[in-house]
Structure 1
Amino acid sequence: MKAVLSFDLEEFDIPEEYGQKVSVQDQMEVSARGTDALLNLLDRYGIPATFFTTGHYARENRPLMARVAARHEIASHALYHSPFHDFQIEDVRESKEILEALTGQEVVGFRMPRLKPFDLSKLAAWGFEYDASLNPTWLPGRYNLLHENPQPHIREGLIELPSSTTPLLRFPLFWLSFKNLPVRLFAWLCYRTLRKRDFLILYFHPWEFASLAAYQLPSYVKRVDGERLLARLDFLIRYLQKRGVTFTTSRDYCRREMPQIADLSR
């Protein structure tokens, strides 16, 4: 049973969705504080993770990126995260070039900001091996993707790594359910999903692991944050490890568990 912890390392711009302006400095610093706390926890357990990073965030936080890249996979999260940025598919290639130049890593994975739909037909030609932009569930007001395949599969010459959902009901096992469900229930749902599917990919944001008290966010976004959320992640890691779950990166999962497909997409 393989599990991937993935983190969308981006500008902390979510308050702007709710009408609160956040300075560029705060956007960078909140995510940096959360990332620092996460890295300390992951180092303690010796767990590798995947950090989907925007090119803009990486350029503005080079020392932090060096620390992340030393032990973890760096993947692309486009160029900017802001909902006010006019996304162009070329942003994906530019972000890959920025991340590779800054970290020295080969960047082979992509996740679209806010998991919005986009044309991924060019990604394989640009050297990407997998996409992790699919959440095969129903989120009111955002998308209904219950018809999508919840297992890793091939699409447009890439491995598609869908965010994990529970069997049958397709309940999403992502950042909002992690902080709003009782942690033991969330951990049990993760393990049950692993037993059925042998694979789990969870996604969070580093800014969640910093204090959000100063920001005007809905309670379901910030009700558990900072140290309290870090304690939940600590519990989840220990819960899964005790049951024989191995943590890996998205890239290593694709290359080791799906090698024939990974070779085709290189």
Structure 2
Amino acid sequence: MVLLSFDIEEFDMPLEYKGEISFEKQISISQTGLEKILDILKKHQAKATFFSTVVFAENSKNLIERLLKEGHELASHTWYHSDFKEEHLKHSKEKLEGLFGTKVTGLRMPRMMPVSKNAVENAGYSYNSSINPTFLPGRYNNLKVSRTYFKEGNVTQIPASVSPNFRIPLFWLSFHNFPLSFYKKLSSDVLQKDRYLNIYFHPWEFAEIKDEAFKLPGFTVKNSGEDMVKRFDEFVSWLKSKNHTFGTFQEFQKQITS
């Protein structure tokens, strides 16, 4: 099973690099990208999971309602993308459920930040996908964490996929910067070894973000915008040609616990 997921959030990455961007533009850029993602998924009849901050969801109700109507899953990306308190775990889950009348069972922390496993369980989540089990200088070192899903108390941890050999990450930056043929090879290796693939992206990758005011490094904007739309469309087409199925995290969790 292929687990496509998208962290839908206010596009505040320019602020990490001392760039300038208004809150309104943070939201509108992510909204533009999300529409393009939903169009591609609808074209291929592929299901996905969307981890949303409350801030983005409150400002994008029509898009959240659309993704739910089209059979996708809504999960929590906490309340804000760049401000976190432990109480946000429970409050964001309850707020998203209240706004959209859907059951929120999954969590992904912004920027894959570490979080107390007890706090996640106490907040009522049944799965968490907040670990990239690899080494990224200056970000995290999770080389000793399981590559594949495991239990943390009553919560199923579903790490992002990395290659069986050398733990090469298959996250969004790899998709942009690796030759697509190499990324497909790594994906095939993971699917053959693990029987599932867990990869994640963001709506702003599908929008125009090559703005000098944002001050983003070249490796973050390579193959973004329309290039990303074409690249992702080709990748999903390739997965379908190999007869891989697409599912939500909730569906995957049911499959591995049944």
Please state which band the TM-score falls in when normalised by the shorter chain: over 0.9
**What amino acid sits opposite 2:95 in the alignment?**
I
Within a 5 Å distance, the mapping from 1:25-104 to structure 2 comes to 25-70=24-69, 71-82=71-82, 85=83, 87-104=84-101
Within a 5 Å distance, the mapping from 1:225-236 to structure 2 comes to 225-236=224-235
- Please point out which of 125, 129, 133 is paired with 2:126: 129
Aligned equivalents of 1:213 and 1:30: distance in 2? 12
Misfit runs of 4+, over 3 Å: none
**What amino acid sits opposite 2:252 in the alignment?**
Y
Structure 1: runs of 5 or more not aligned: 260-266
2:124 paired with 1:146: no
Cα offset, 1:123, TM superposition = 2.5
Q: What SS is found at the alignment partner of 1:248? A: coil
- Residue by residue over 1:217-256, the C-alpha shift from the partner in whole angstroms, topping out at 9 and shown as x without a partner, is 0000001111111111111111111112111011110012
Aligned equivalents of 1:52 and 1:90: distance in 2? 17
Contact 2:90 2:124 (C-alpha < 8 Å) held by counterparts: no
Partner of 1:263: none
**What amino acid sits opposite 1:234 in the alignment?**
D
Partner of 2:156: 159
Aligned equivalents of 1:145 and 1:256: distance in 2? 26
**What amino acid sits opposite 1:249 in the alignment?**
T
Q: What SS is found at the alignment partner of 1:29? A: helix
Partner of 1:256: 255
**What amino acid sits opposite 2:216 in the alignment?**
L
Partner of 2:7: 8
**What amino acid sits opposite 1:24 in the alignment?**
F
Cα offset, 1:127, TM superposition = 2.5
Deviates most, 26-35 or 230-239: 230-239
**Normalization by structure 1: what TM-score?**
0.93
Q: What SS is found at the alignment partner of 1:74? A: strand
Aligned equivalents of 1:223 and 1:242: distance in 2? 26
2:195 paired with 1:210: no
Structure 2: runs of 5 or more not aligned: none
Q: What SS is found at the alignment partner of 1:148? A: coil
Partner of 1:107: 104
Cα offset, 1:48, TM superposition = 0.8
**What amino acid sits opposite 2:220 in the alignment?**
V
Number of aligned positions between the proteins: 255
Aligned equivalents of 2:114 and 2:131: distance in 1? 9
**What amino acid sits opposite 1:243 in the alignment?**
K
**Normalization by structure 2: what TM-score?**
0.96
Q: What SS is found at the alignment partner of 2:117? A: coil
Partner of 2:17: 18
**What amino acid sits opposite 1:160 in the alignment?**
Q
Partner of 1:118: 115
- Residue by residue over 1:137-180, the C-alpha shift from the partner in whole angstroms, topping out at 9 and shown as x without a partner, is 00011111100001111013210100000002000000000000
Aligned equivalents of 2:63 and 2:190: distance in 1? 33
Aligned equivalents of 1:196 and 1:256: distance in 2? 17
Aligned equivalents of 1:113 and 1:141: distance in 2? 16
Contact 2:173 2:219 (C-alpha < 8 Å) held by counterparts: yes
Q: What SS is found at the alignment partner of 1:141? A: coil
Aligned equivalents of 2:109 and 2:49: distance in 1? 14
Aligned equivalents of 1:23 and 1:69: distance in 2? 28
**What amino acid sits opposite 1:165 in the alignment?**
V
Contact 1:5 1:201 (C-alpha < 8 Å) held by counterparts: yes
Q: What SS is found at the alignment partner of 2:118? A: coil
Contact 1:191 1:240 (C-alpha < 8 Å) held by counterparts: no
Partner of 2:188: 191
Cα RMSD for the two superposed structures: 1.0
